[in-house]
Amino acid sequence: MTRHSHNIPKRRTLATFGQGQRRETLFWAISSGVAVFLAMLMLSLFGAISYVIIVPALIGLTFAKPQFALIVIFCAIYFQSIMISFLMQLGSDEGAIQASQAFSFIALTIMALCALAVLVTRKKNKIPVLGRRSNLILPSFLCLGVVALYAALGLTSASVASVASYVRLYCLLPFGIFIALAFARRFNTAFLCDVCIYFTLVALALGALEIAFPREFYTYSNMVPYVVTKYSDDVQLRDVDDLMRIATRSFLNLSSQFALDLKFVRPYGPTIHSITFAYVVTFGAAIAIVRRQWLALALCFPMLIFIGSKGVLVLVLCLLMIDFVSRGVSRRMVPWVFAILMIAYVVITLAYGAATADYHYLGLRGGIVGFFERPWGHGVGVGGNLSDLGRSDARDFQEFARSGASDFALESGFAVALYQMGVLGLIFFFLWYRVGRMLLQRSHDRSLNLADRRTCLIVGHGLLILIVTSIFQEETLSPASLGMWSILAVSILITTRQETSIASAGRIDAEPVPASLSKR
């Protein structure tokens, strides 16, 4: 046995998932759910003043157990909305509900600030810069600087709430990078993935209950008052029947154009937002591909079909195709297959959008037109689904359809970012692309074992597909999408580099086991 080998945790294959590991993973998943529920209970009863207790607890948890702190954040992204809805029976006022809804981002911000403190105080040679040319810290600060600059510009013509909504989204990527750079060495990436699979299975169960028993689900979860409170400017609901009517949509939003007359109850899920629900299920499906959990993946597909979001279905199917080509055909064919799939997706979606005046197409075109009219940007919070304009009477899709474009950016994360931050908004997407590209480069590293290289291949392509999907969906910028993906991606980058360095130093024996996804 070589020196220091007693310090190396025993590594297991992806197929190894014994009873002990299942119990441990389930224990921490349940513990995080209890922690989030208690936080939601305090916020529902006492409002924002509860953060006097919650914030110090989160800071202590981040430094003591960063992996569990991250699991709590992921759990909040999955389930905080359904918890808030259920707890509204306690008589929560609007202020308490808003304070509760902010929990996941506040927790993420606290963890990112703690991560910055760690990075600043850590010796320079101990910061995992991922190579001299691949330093992610400076681009992340540059991205935050651009966001701050355009947030100041946005405050001149948009409300504080509108600006804050988009500052939150644009900060997710650099915050995720900071968290992973500071704490990934203390993460067990496989453990995080398996916890998220449990979260996804619970979310799927809740979604199945909603589809099977929508009236009962909406009644017992107290969803009508929650939707009325959160979307008071957008929806008018009187009872559960109104909510069921709104939740019933045509299949993939295509039936109305092609007279298929296929309609389903489009589940809101535990996120109480159909597309956000689709993205948390997609995140779980991508992890299932990486972890070879085919049953979990098979359970995700029916829910994605019921939700009917074309973008997330394309993402999962493309990842499956890339995985199949890399394993069954040739790794050299993967870039060509990826390029063909993305070009086909963009061309078909644009053609369909132009033919049917689809609102995603109209919002994309409106954002691009606004970008060329003012390439230096309109300011963060000006334009977009969450903005004052997006929630006002100015959002008239019938008028947009007649003119061929919306009056401002809508429904497209890419177009909204360009509309708000102009040319400098490309820095945000460059940082996003850089993380994905680094993973793809790592997938060619022969010093890694085959399973690690395939993990980098799948997650890297997932990030790049999200960039393409952002052309047509604004929800790709959400915590349920970019927020969780960015933390996972950079964590894999760091853990694979760390294990490669250990292996090259001769401290462990080379074996075909995924280092970044090793069990404890």
3-state secondary structure 460-486: HHHHHHHHHHCCCCHHHHCHHHHHHHH
Contact 134, 177 (CB under 8 A): no
pLDDT of residue 392: 75
pLDDT of residue 114: 95
pTM (global) more than 0.85: yes
The rounded distance, in Å, linking the Cα atoms of 408 and 369 is 8
pLDDT of residue 201: 95
pLDDT of residue 504: 47
The rounded distance, in Å, linking the Cα atoms of 480 and 473 is 13
Please give the DSSP secondary-structure letter assigned to residue 254. T
pLDDT of residue 510: 35
Which of 253, 249, 225, 251 minimizes the C-alpha distance to 239? 225
pLDDT of residue 258: 53
Indicate the burial class of 114 (C-beta count within 10 angstroms; 0-12, 13-18, 19 or more): buried
| Cα atoms found within 13 Å of the Cα of residue 13, Cβ hemisphere only | 6
The rounded distance, in Å, linking the Cα atoms of 116 and 146 is 18
Sequence spans of domains, the chain: 23-122, 138-186+330-501, 188-308
Q: What is the pLDDT tens value at each position of the chain, 520 positions in all?
A: 444 433 333 333 333 344 457 788 889 999 999 999 999 999 999 989 999 999 999 999 999 999 999 999 999 999 999 999 999 888 777 788 889 999 999 999 999 999 999 988 876 656 555 554 457 888 999 999 999 999 999 999 889 989 999 999 999 999 999 999 999 888 888 888 999 999 999 999 999 999 999 889 998 988 888 888 877 655 667 778 888 887 777 666 554 555 455 667 789 999 999 999 999 999 999 999 998 899 999 999 999 988 888 889 999 999 999 999 988 888 889 999 999 999 999 999 999 888 888 888 999 999 999 999 999 999 999 988 888 888 776 677 778 888 888 888 898 999 999 999 999 999 999 999 999 999 999 988 888 888 888 889 999 999 999 999 999 999 999 999 999 999 999 999 888 765 555 444 444 333 343 444 444 3
Between CA 173 and CA 106, with CA 469 as vertex, the angle to 5 degrees is 30
Which of 155, 156, 174, 473 minimizes the C-alpha distance to 309? 473
pLDDT of residue 254: 58
The rounded distance, in Å, linking the Cα atoms of 78 and 419 is 29
The DSSP bridge partners found for residue 265 are 248
Provide the residue type at 18 as one letter. G
255, two tokens: 């039936």
377, two tokens: 């940007």
Question: In what helix (H) or strand (E) does residue 428 lie, and over which residues does it extend?
Answer: helix 425-442
